[in-house]
Amino acid sequence: MTAEGSGDRRWRAVWHGIRLMGVHTRGAAAGAAQAHGAHPVAAAAMGRLLSAAALLSSDLKDPGSYLRLTAEGGGPLGRVRAEAHADGLLRARVDHPGVDLPPTPQGKLPVGAAVGSHGALVAERVAGGGRAYTSTSELVSGELGEDVAQFLWSSEQVRSAVALGVLVDRDGSVAASGGLMIQALPGADEEELARLAARVEALTDLSWRLAAGERPTDLLQWVVDKPLADWVADPLHFGCRCSREQSRQLLAVAPPAERRQWAQEGGAEVVCHYCGTRYRFAADDLWP
């Protein structure tokens, strides 16, 4: 399952020894929300984590490699998970997409309360050959932007500022989704880093500005307060890696007694947790 042509992108540039990155992920956030029938706060949480995964995966090179982020903060959404693959594919899932919470007094979706802050943010980098490297940090707020910045500092000692935003319309559709990140490279200008970080943290209206038509590159130029031209752009798109053969392999490793019982019941069905695709297997597929 793939969805090309969504217009989702990641942009990269360097300014005074500081890496600038921005992502537009409306297509991926909308795809994930639709696949799960997500209520607004669940759609917003998945969209934010998708943007974070897209930002953190810019260094993936090997075919088949991917980054998986999991936020589990003890909130009513349960686990929120997002993946970004080297070829630009993005996908996400949430344990309880039907969670519905009232907006905050400021009229915003209560993502922090829905995710929770008593838990961890886990990043798994999986190489093309299947080798996995895992890093973990405690959640700060569950809002995910500052949680990602804290993760980068505590696990990789990289000073960063991150802004993530998702706007969900009254009809439940995703109107905007994206994010910005600045990271200190070796030899970064300390004063400039502090200035840019303060401007990123001041972007409390990120989702509204994206919905109004501003691109992440426009917002990053506002952060820097200078016009920038040397952007590197990478296409992104919502999709899934599930397949009938993968589902068959999952069933094949089930205990023989379970496979025999499924065969006696007439077959079995595997449902992808990311895209909702259903794979039905007849009794003959389960037991000879």
pLDDT in tens, 34-59: 999 999 999 999 999 999 999 999 99
Contact 146, 160 (CB under 8 A): no
Q: Please indicate, yes or no, whether residues 265 and 208 belong to a single structural domain of this protein.
A: no
Residues 275 and 150 occupy one common structural domain:
no
The first and second tokens of residue 288, run together, are: 């000879």
Q: Are residues 203 and 91 in the same domain?
A: yes
Residue 164 and residue 261 in one domain: no
Chain mean pLDDT for the chain: 91
Final residue belonging to a domain, choices 222, 239, 256: 239
- Domain of 86: which CATH number? 3.55.30.10
SS3 234: strand
Domain around 25? 2-239
Tally of domains in the chain: 2
Residues 100 and 194 in one domain: yes
The encoded tokens of residue 51 equal: 């943007």
Percent of the chain with pLDDT over 90: 67
Instruction: Indicate the pTM of the whole model.
Output: 0.91
The pLDDT tens digits for 155-169 are: 888 899 999 999 998
What is the average pLDDT across 252-264? 87
Q: How far apart are CA 189 and CA 29, in angstroms?
A: 34
Whether 234 and 40 have beta carbons less than 8 Å apart is answered as no
Mean pLDDT of all residues in 4-8 = 65
**Cα dihedral across residues 164, 126, 3, 5: positive or negative:** positive
Q: What is the pLDDT of residue 288?
A: 62
The side-by-side arrangement of strands in the sheet containing 80-85 is 2-3, 237-239, 89-94, 80-85, 66-72, 120-126, 132-138
CATH at residue 272: 3.90.1280.10
Q: Please tell me whether residues 130 and 256 are part of one structural domain.
A: no
